Amino acid sequence: MRLIAFLRRCVLVAYDAYWRFATNDGWAIASHLALSVLLAMFPFLIFVTALAGFIGTSDLADQVVQLLFSAWPAAVVEPIEREVHNVLTGQRRDLITIGGALMLWFSSSGIEAVRIGLNRAYGFQETRWWYRTRAQSIAFVVLGAIALLALAFLIVLAPAGFQAAAALAPRYAEQIVELRDQVFAQRYVITVCILFVALVGAHLWLPNGRLKLGQVLPGILLTMLLWIVAATLFAYYLSSFANYATTYAGFAAVMIALVFLYFISVIFILGGELNSAWTRSQKALVPPADRTLLPIDR
């Protein structure tokens, strides 16, 4: 009986989450989020490249690009990867110039779009001053860039570390080489971990309300699962049916990325709606199947 009651509750929560998504203009917010992320992608990568060049090595930027795009379908990445490398070619020293400030501003616009989507999903109204939220978004961009560069730096140093370990312990050289190959084969796992940490930070700190990890974890796990499914299905669709080049010509690469980001954004907002619906079902503030918009007292 408990299992039946739990399954019934899950169905009602999913029903509630979908109708809240539709009522809260989730489709339109997902379009805004997808376009904002696409527009913020290149400024963010340029900022990462400038920061890497400021540190002294621009090779780290290539590692960051590989980490960010390793979870994307190959059919989506391949058309835009060349353009990304064209933009990031050469060292950039404009980190502390007006250009660097503009890159930060445009990069943080993607974070602001995520904030809007999460506030709508959780039923919060943004009451903080715009400069506080923008400063938080810029801080997210800077910390994200530093964290990615630090991780890329460890990946760059990893071969030398394994080589030194093999030299210090020649008896275990074969096992160390095997371990090295396994580590480098797990780049996709590293990317999934990065996405999980980013989702946790976004759900906990971007909305204008206090949320606990237990409240946001179900939606985050569902988001990551559906992202993997969506990426697989979209790659199959592109390889088997779609031909964007005949419709959009030279803009095909942009449109492929935009459509993919749109699906990803829909799933992301649905994850927030699911968390909100599950919390309402726990607190019994709103009947699970109610389609009306009521304020949530937290």
DSSP per-residue letters across 13-72: HHHHHHHHHHHTTHHHHHHHHHHHHHHHHHHHHHHHHHHHHHHT-SHHHHHHHHHHHTTS
Pull the structure tokens for residue 292.
Answer: 């009306």
219 part of a folded domain: yes
Look at residue 189 in the predicted model and tell me its pLDDT. 75
- Domain count across the chain: 1
Biggest alpha carbon distance in the chain? 68
293 part of a folded domain: no
Q: How confident is the model at residue 79 (pLDDT cuts 50, 70, 90)?
A: low
Q: Please answer whether residues 122 and 219 qualify as being in contact, where contact means their C-beta atoms are separated by less than 8 angstroms.
A: no
5 part of a folded domain: no
Q: Which of 47-61, 88-102, 185-199 has the highest mean pLDDT?
A: 185-199
- Which of 63-67, 198-202, 294-298 bottoms out in mean pLDDT, i.e. has the lowest? 294-298
Q: What is the pTM of this model?
A: 0.81
67 part of a folded domain: yes
218 part of a folded domain: yes
Q: How confident is the model at residue 191 (pLDDT cuts 50, 70, 90)?
A: confident
114 part of a folded domain: yes
With CA atoms as reference, report the closest residue to 68 among 122, 161, 147.
Answer: 147
Look at residue 272 in the predicted model and tell me its pLDDT. 93
With CA atoms as reference, report the closest residue to 198 among 271, 91, 93, 132.
Answer: 271
Mean pLDDT for 213-238 is 89
Q: Please answer whether residues 128 and 86 qualify as being in contact, where contact means their C-beta atoms are separated by less than 8 angstroms.
A: no
Pull the structure tokens for residue 187.
Answer: 């780049």
275 part of a folded domain: yes
Residue type, 118: L
Q: How confident is the model at residue 221 (pLDDT cuts 50, 70, 90)?
A: very high
Residue 256: HSE in the Cβ half-sphere, 13 Å Cα cutoff: 27
Question: Is the predicted pLDDT of residue 125 greater than 70, yes or no?
Answer: yes
Mean pLDDT for 60-84 is 71
Decide which of 128 and 190 is more confident.
128
73 part of a folded domain: yes
Mean pLDDT for 275-288 is 72
Containing structural domain, residue 63: 22-283
CA gap 20, 273 in Å, rounded: 7
Look at residue 107 in the predicted model and tell me its pLDDT. 85
CA gap 224, 227 in Å, rounded: 5
Decide which of 167 and 28 is more confident.
28
CA gap 78, 84 in Å, rounded: 10
Question: Is the predicted pLDDT of residue 250 greater than 70, yes or no?
Answer: no
